[in-house]
């Protein structure tokens, strides 16, 4: 085996290079290169360790003829073309947990700064004004902190807030009642949090579901004078609405470490009284930079020397022997998990993954990882088959694996069940020809369908004329139906429709479908 070579192309704590050398890997530290200069040298390296400065574009990857792994010392991978890396067989890793404490501490620091108006008081005092009566702060002791997102960072914020004698309420779709008790918070719905919180901190990824989670409408629901802190991702808050709420006094103060557009050279919020901003400093401590440097070096070394995969964003943890047989099952598992994640709303306490027939003889861990990745990716685009089990455990999700020796109607079957507040929600699928994933059961209704692309899920009364009305409505919206799948429990009862469409269905079309006679539920799906 030839000695692997790694390039560190961004400034990084020197312990990263030390770890590579200790593990017997040749490492070069060459920083500050232009894209053209990087492309000229990258071909000789097996691994590339970066932070945020290096842009791993498709052109860089085309030149990286020997590259096997890209390691990002940090969580964000916006500077890596992951689809291009995947197409070239390059593993992309990040270090999602190395800066959790640092980000949590920054959120607490901003909370104190808001409570006591520290930046404005500092500027006033240094200007020689001594405006002691102007800056009347509030105590955090006894106040209610609302967490939007109670994962790794959110739970760290909660523990610190509890130490400050605050009451903590949390909104997180994946947080179970048991996990809430364990970390000392009260699990609530978003509207409850908005109405009760004196301070709100956000700790959730930016997804279609979380974008503008603090919208103009939701900000209006908050307790008057609430103080808002965001150290997570720009785009979670409607910045124009926040500006108006600060001006009106609905929001008593806001502190943003992240902005919808970065670097934030201009913002409607700049100059607003009771507003604090920092330039994305959540992970900017010496300790955090040491942690992520150590982690990226250890992860890349394990992969290059042993084939171990940790925190990969574009591949599952699979051995070379298992991969060919398991891959079709994992594709089925991920789609079933995604289907449950998109359709089973509300608090989900338990997820059960059952295998039957030929599937029961397989290694269940990669299948479970694929189900969880599909299930949780609905809320976070950085979830994958490797880190999904960790994220599920953090949120207290009870994951159960069940093998059945029995033989059923199919030679191989995978069933995913979610226990929700509305009851058990179960989907099942099989492989046609041992390779093609196919849905065969949806919430107790027999339905055979491919789960691909854009789809529309409809529950309606089984009455004549509905299909015609639906087709006419979609036709008028210039939406073409690819395939049409219908199932029902009994004639005249509820029917379930799954339509594959040539383009996504927008909110306006969904609202129109909801107004059709007999429609009980409409959900756009994407696979």
pLDDT of residue 93 exceeding 90, the answer is yes
The mean pLDDT of the chain is 91
**Cβ count within 10 A of residue 444:** 13
Place of tokens 């500050």: 32
Average pLDDT over residues 501-521: 93
pLDDT of residue 146 exceeding 70, the answer is yes
pLDDT confidence tier of residue 137, bands split at 50, 70 and 90: very high
pLDDT confidence tier of residue 294, bands split at 50, 70 and 90: very high
pLDDT at 408: 78
pLDDT at 323: 60
How is domain 5-98+287-306 classified at the architecture level of CATH?
3-Layer(aba) Sandwich (3.40)
Give the homologous superfamily in CATH for domain 453-527. Answer: ACT domain (3.30.70.260)
Residue 106, SS3 per DSSP:
helix
| Cβ-based neighbours of 234, under 8 Å, separated by 6 or more | 206, 256, 258, 259, 260, 261, 262, 264
Choice among 62, 178, 262, 503 that is catalytic: 262
pLDDT tens, position by position, 176-187: 999 999 999 999
CATH number for the segment(s) 316-451: 3.30.1330.90
pLDDT at 317: 59
pLDDT at 160: 97
Distance, C-alpha 504 to centroid of its chain: 21
| Cβ-based neighbours of 205, under 8 Å, separated by 6 or more | 232, 233, 379, 380, 381, 382
All CATH 3.40.50.720 domain ranges in the chain, comma separated: 5-98+287-306, 100-277
pLDDT at 60: 97
Q: Which helix (H) or strand (E) holds 348?
A: strand 348-357
All CATH 3.30.70.260 domain ranges in the chain, comma separated: 453-527
Can you give the pTM of this predicted structure? 0.69
pLDDT tens, position by position, 24-63: 999 999 999 999 999 999 999 999 999 988 999 999 999 9
pLDDT confidence tier of residue 364, bands split at 50, 70 and 90: confident
Choice among 233, 335, 379, 395 that is catalytic: 233
Which range (135-139, 204-208, 438-442, 522-526) has the least confidence?
Answer: 204-208
pLDDT at 85: 87
Asked if residue 329 lies in contact with residue 359, where contact means CB atoms within 8 angstroms, the answer is yes
CATH number for the segment(s) 100-277: 3.40.50.720
Average pLDDT over residues 260-286: 92
pLDDT of residue 97 exceeding 90, the answer is no
Higher pLDDT, 313 or 490: 313
pLDDT of residue 174 exceeding 70, the answer is yes
pLDDT of residue 456 exceeding 90, the answer is yes
Q: In the numeric block, which tokens belong to residue 217?
A: 């409408």
Average pLDDT over residues 83-105: 88
Q: Could you confirm whether 26 is annotated as catalytic?
A: no
pLDDT at 65: 94
Choice among 72, 106, 203, 280 that is catalytic: 280
pLDDT at 139: 97
* CA-closest candidate to residue 148, choices 94, 189, 109: 189
Q: Could you confirm whether 262 is annotated as catalytic?
A: yes
pLDDT of residue 382 exceeding 70, the answer is no
Q: Could you confirm whether 233 is annotated as catalytic?
A: yes
Asked if residue 50 lies in contact with residue 89, where contact means CB atoms within 8 angstroms, the answer is no
pLDDT of residue 320 exceeding 50, the answer is no
All CATH 3.30.1330.90 domain ranges in the chain, comma separated: 316-451
Average pLDDT over residues 426-444: 92
pLDDT confidence tier of residue 321, bands split at 50, 70 and 90: low
pLDDT of residue 144 exceeding 90, the answer is yes
pLDDT at 385: 67
Which range (101-105, 172-176, 372-376, 394-398) has the least confidence?
Answer: 394-398
């Amino acid at each position: 085996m030839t000695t692997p070579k790694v390039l560190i192309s961004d400034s990084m704590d020197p312990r990263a290079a030390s770890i590579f050398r200790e593990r017997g890997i040749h490492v070069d530290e060459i920083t500050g290169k232009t894209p053209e200069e990087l492309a000229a040298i990258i071909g000789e390296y097996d691994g590339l360790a970066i932070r945020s400065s290096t842009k791993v574009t498709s052109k860089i990857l085309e030149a990286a003829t020997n590259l096997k792994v890209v390691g990002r010392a940090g969580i964000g991978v916006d500077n890596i073309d992951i689809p291009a890396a995947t197409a070239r067989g390059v593993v992309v890793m990040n270090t999602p947990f190395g800066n959790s404490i640092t980000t949590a501490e920054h959120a607490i620091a901003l909370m104190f700064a808001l409570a006591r108006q520290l930046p404005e008081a500092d500027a006033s005092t240094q200007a020689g004004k001594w405006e002691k009566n102007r800056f009347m702060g509030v105590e955090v002791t006894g106040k209610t902190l609302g967490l939007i997102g109670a994962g790794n960072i959110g739970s760290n914020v909660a523990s610190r807030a509890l130490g400050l004698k605050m009451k903590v309420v949390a909104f997180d779709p994946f947080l179970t009642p048991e996990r809430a008790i364990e970390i000392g918070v009260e699990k609530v719905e978003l509207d409850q949090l908005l109405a009760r919180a004196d301070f709100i901190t956000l700790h959730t990824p930016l997804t279609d579901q979380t974008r503008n989670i603090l919208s103009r409408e939701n900000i209006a629901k908050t307790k008057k004078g609430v103080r808002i802190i965001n150290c997570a991702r720009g785009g979670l808050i409607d910045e124009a609405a926040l500006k108006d709420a600060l001006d009106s006094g609905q929001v008593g103060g806001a502190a943003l470490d992240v902005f919808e557009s970065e670097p934030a050279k201009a913002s409607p919020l700049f100059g607003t009284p009771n507003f604090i901003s920092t330039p994305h400093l959540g992970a900017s401590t010496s300790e955090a930079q040491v942690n992520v440097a150590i982690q990226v070096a250890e992860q890349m070394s394990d992969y290059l020397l042993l084939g171990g995969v940790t925190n990969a964003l574009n591949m599952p943890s699979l051995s070379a022997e298992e991969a060919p047989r398991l891959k079709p099952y994992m594709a089925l598992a991920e789609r079933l998990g995604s289907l449950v994640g998109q359709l089973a709303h509300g608090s989900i306490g338990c997820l059960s993954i059952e295998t039957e027939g030929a599937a029961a003889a397989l290694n269940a861990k990669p299948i479970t990882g694929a189900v969880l990745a599909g299930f949780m990716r609905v809320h976070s685009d950085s979830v994958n088959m490797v880190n999904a089990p960790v994220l599920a455990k953090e949120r207290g999700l009870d994951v159960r694996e069940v093998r059945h020796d029995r033989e059923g109607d199919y030679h191989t079957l995978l069933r995913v069940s979610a226990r929700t507040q509305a009851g058990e929600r179960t989907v099942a699928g099989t492989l046609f020809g041992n390779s093609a994933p196919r849905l065969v059961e949806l919430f107790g209704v027999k339905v055979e369908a491919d789960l691909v692309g854009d789809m529309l899920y409809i529950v309606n009364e089984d009455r004549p004329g509905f299909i015609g009305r639906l087709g006419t409505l979609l036709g008028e919206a210039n939406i073409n139906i690819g395939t049409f799948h219908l199932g029902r429990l009994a004639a005249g009862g509820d029917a379930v429709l799954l339509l594959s469409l040539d383009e996504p269905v927008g909110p306006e079309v969904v609202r129109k479908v909801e107004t059709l006679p007999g429609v009980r539920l409409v959900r756009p799906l994407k696979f």
